[in-house]
Chains A and B, each alone.
Chain A
Amino acid sequence: MNPFAAIGRAVLTVLAHIGRLTQFAGRSIAAVFSPPVYGGLIGRQLMSIGYYSLPVVGLTALCIGAVLALQIYLGGNRYGAEAIVPQIVVLGITRELGPVIAGLMVAGRVGAAIAAEIGTMKVTEQIDALTTLATNPIKYLVVPRLVAAVIAMPVLTAIADIIGVYGGYLVATLNLGFTGSIYLKNTVDFATRQDIVSGLIKAAVFGFIVALMGCYNGFYSKGGAQGVGNATTNAVVSSSILILAADFVLTAILFHTS
């Protein structure tokens, strides 16, 4: 096989994907701002994206907060800076780990479910059926998921922030000899509004990414069960990568470090 042809084909495929995704995102965003609004569907998606993600997001946040406290203590110990634990924990959780962990967990749980559901609807012609029933599939399927994810993710992240800090607090007070009241005072004094708000802004973007990639991969899945399987995998992988890439870009923008 001609290597140049192979490279060219790969480049064209990637470009076609980017073009189609951009078009899809544009149509979806335009649909958010035009009637009709399916309030009931948004509510149902808020439940499945937000509420039902609470256990998994809360549990991972608790573990991450605990591990973070332990690692900072051990690292800081090397030059007698172990007292910095509450400050670093709250900074790390609110700015980075809260939104990123919540984003990745929701990508695995919700992104996969969205892609599988919409993908199955696609291959069983249910999406075509929507069109024939004078219902815009983008408005009916994509918009509720996008809106719900963008609303639910900051809320989930705010909860993850609190639980994550609490995880650090537990380890610090039970294992590392910190006094609870001092730990909490240091945490509250140190955290700024920007630390928390920047994390919540990131979370909203991550929510958009997860819902968009889930819907996009579902919408363009083809070829039966295997196609739906591929769509599910692609949704999780692509949204996870995009979350991490967007995290870097957003950090650079929000903190003007570039």
Chain B
Amino acid sequence: MTPKIELRGVKKRFGSKVVLDGVDLVIEPKTSLVIIGGSGTGKSVALKCILGILRPDEGTILVDGEDITHIGGAARDKVMRKFGMLFQGAALFDSLQVWENVAFGLIQGRGMKKKQARDIAVAKLAQVGLSADVAELYPVELSGGMQKRVGLARAIAADPDIIFFDEPTTGLDPIMADVINDLIVSTVRDVGATALSITHDMTSARKISDRIAMLYGGRIIWTGPTAEIDHSGNPYVDQFIHGRADGPIKMAVKA
């Protein structure tokens, strides 16, 4: 079977700082993969390369077997329609009402009529546990957890093939984090999508993933089924998942 997403030797550097140093990664259809790794290890950069927000210096990125590394314009828009993304800070458009946020990709990206898009938006909000009266509010009137839910509703509004989650639980209290984790698991299953998440929250990673990959030093140093992460035999992975200050990973004091 063709992998949903495949990264081959992806390299990216900013000035003299090498962030990704040959990332190889395969994500099978309808599975959920979580990339773990410390702050500043390039998890977000890897995600942005796949999304086409950043362009890798070397390497290839394939989606459904199609090389999307260097495409632009209409071809890029077509690939973007397969994607949905939940941003770390939700990244809701604060000049638009909640329902307009959720319906944005339907109206602007796909040219759907407002009335129809609004109905879908309200249905998607219900799917993430928000009632229809939230639809009229503006994002600033919502709590952090509700904003995340709206962000999730927006990400799934167009029934994407692939959903990206950037630090989905960061900044939430443990209970709300678990609620969001549950929502991620159920929505990804309901939509039948492939999921790629990045996080350093191990509780979340264990809960929402089928497979886990660890990014360190610009490369994927370990990848395997979630159940095997405790027996990886990899000292770097062990140190990370147990959150130990001592170990092979030395925290850079200077950025």
> Chain A residues in contact with chain B, CB under 8 A?
121, 124-126, 128-129, 131-136, 140
Q: How far is the CA of A234 from the CA of B136 in the complex (A)?
A: 36
Report yes or no: A132 in contact with B93, Cβ–Cβ below 8 A.
no
B87 touches A125 (CB 8 A): yes
- Most A Cβ at <10 Å: residue of B52, B81, B85: B85
Asked if B104 is an interface residue, CB under 8 A from chain A, the answer is yes
B88 touches A125 (CB 8 A): yes
Q: Given A124, A125, A128, A135, which contacts B104 in the complex, CB threshold below 8 Å?
A: A135
Decide if B59 is an interface residue (CB 8 Å cutoff). no
25 A-B Cβ contacts within 8 A? A121-B93, A124-B91, A125-B91, A126-B94, A128-B51, A128-B53, A128-B91, A129-B85, A129-B87, A129-B92, A129-B93, A131-B53, A131-B80, A132-B51, A132-B80, A132-B83, A134-B77, A134-B81, A134-B105, A134-B110, A135-B104, A135-B105, A135-B109, A136-B77, A140-B108
B3 → chain A closest CB, angstroms: 21
Q: How far is the CA of A132 from the CA of B91 in the complex (A)?
A: 11
Contact A131 B87 (CB under 8 A): no
Cα distance A136–B105 in the bound complex, in angstroms: 11
CB distance from A133 to the nearest CB of B (A): 4
With most chain B CB atoms within 10 A of its CB, the pick from A124, A126, A131, A134 is A134
9 additional A-B pairs beyond A129-B87, A132-B80, A132-B83, beta carbons within 8 Å, are: A124-B89, A126-B91, A128-B51, A128-B53, A131-B80, A132-B164, A133-B154, A134-B77, A135-B105
Give the distance in Å from the alpha carbon of A131 to the alpha carbon of B48 in the complex: 11
Closest 6 CB pairs of A and B: A134-B109, A133-B105, A125-B91, A129-B91, A132-B85, A134-B80
Specify which chain A residues have a CB less than 8 angstroms from the CB of B105 in the assembled complex. 133-135
Docked CA distance A140–B87 (Å)? 20
Q: Considering the complex, give the chain A residue whose CB is closest to the CB of B83.
A: A132
A169-B164 Cα distance, complex, nearest whole Å: 65
Task: Answer yes or no: B42 CB below 8 A from chain A CBs.
Answer: no
Give, as a whole number of angstroms, the nearest-CB distance from A62 to chain B.
Answer: 33
Quick check: is B218 within 8 A (CB to CB) of the other chain?
no
Quick check: is B84 within 8 A (CB to CB) of the other chain? yes
Distance to closest chain B CB from A201 (angstroms): 33
Q: Which residue of A lies closest to B104 (CB)?
A: A133
CB–CB A125/B80 < 8 A: no
CB distance from B58 to the nearest CB of A (A): 22
Give chain A nearest CB distance to B94 CB in angstroms.
Answer: 8
Distance in angstroms from B90 CB to nearest chain A CB is 9
Whether A133 contacts B109 by the Cβ 8 Å rule is yes
Give the interface SS of chain B, mostly helix, strand, loop or mixed. mixed
Which residues of chain A come closer than 8 Å to B81, judged between CB atoms?
A: 134
A132 lies within 8 A of B84 (CB): yes
Chain A: minimal CB distance from B138 (Å): 14
A128 nearest in chain B by CB position:
B53
Which residues of chain B have C-beta atoms less than 8 A from A140's C-beta? 108
Per the 8 Å Cβ criterion, residues 68-83 of B in contact with A are 77, 80-81, 83
CB distance A135 to B108 under 8 Å?
yes
How far is B51's CA from A140's CA once the two chains are assembled, in angstroms? 18
Contacts of B85 in A (CB 8 A): 129, 132
Tell me the complex Cα distance, A238–B85, Å: 35
Q: In whole angstroms, what is the CA distance A132 to B160 when docked?
A: 11
Set of chain B residues within 8 Å of A132, measured between Cβ atoms: 51, 80, 83-85, 164
Which residues in chain B, 25-52, are within 8 Å of chain A measured between CB atoms? 48, 51-52
Inter-subunit contact B51/A126 (CB<8 Å): no
- With the chains together, A135 CA to B84 CA distance in Å? 13
What is the distance, in angstroms, from A34's C-beta to the closest C-beta of chain B?
Answer: 9
Most buried by A among B51, B81, B108: B108
How far in angstroms is the closest Cβ of chain B from A205?
A: 29
B80-A126 in contact (CB<8A): no
A133 to B101, CA, bound (A): 10
Bound together, the chains give a CA A124 to CA B90 distance in angstroms of: 8
Asked if B87 contacts A128 (CB within 8 A), the reply is: yes
Q: Tell me which residues across on chain B come within 8 A of A135, comparing CB atoms.
A: 104-105, 108-109
Chain B residue numbers with a CB within 8 Å of A136 are: 77
Cβ-defined contact, B93 with A131, below 8 A:
no
Q: B52, A131: Cβ atoms under 8 Å? A: yes
* A221 to B247 CA separation, bound complex (whole angstroms): 37
State in angstroms the CA–CA spacing of A134 and B160 once bound together.
12
Complex interface: chain B residues within 8 A of A121 (CB): 93
Chain A residues whose C-beta falls within 8 Å of the C-beta of B51 in the assembled complex? 128, 131-132
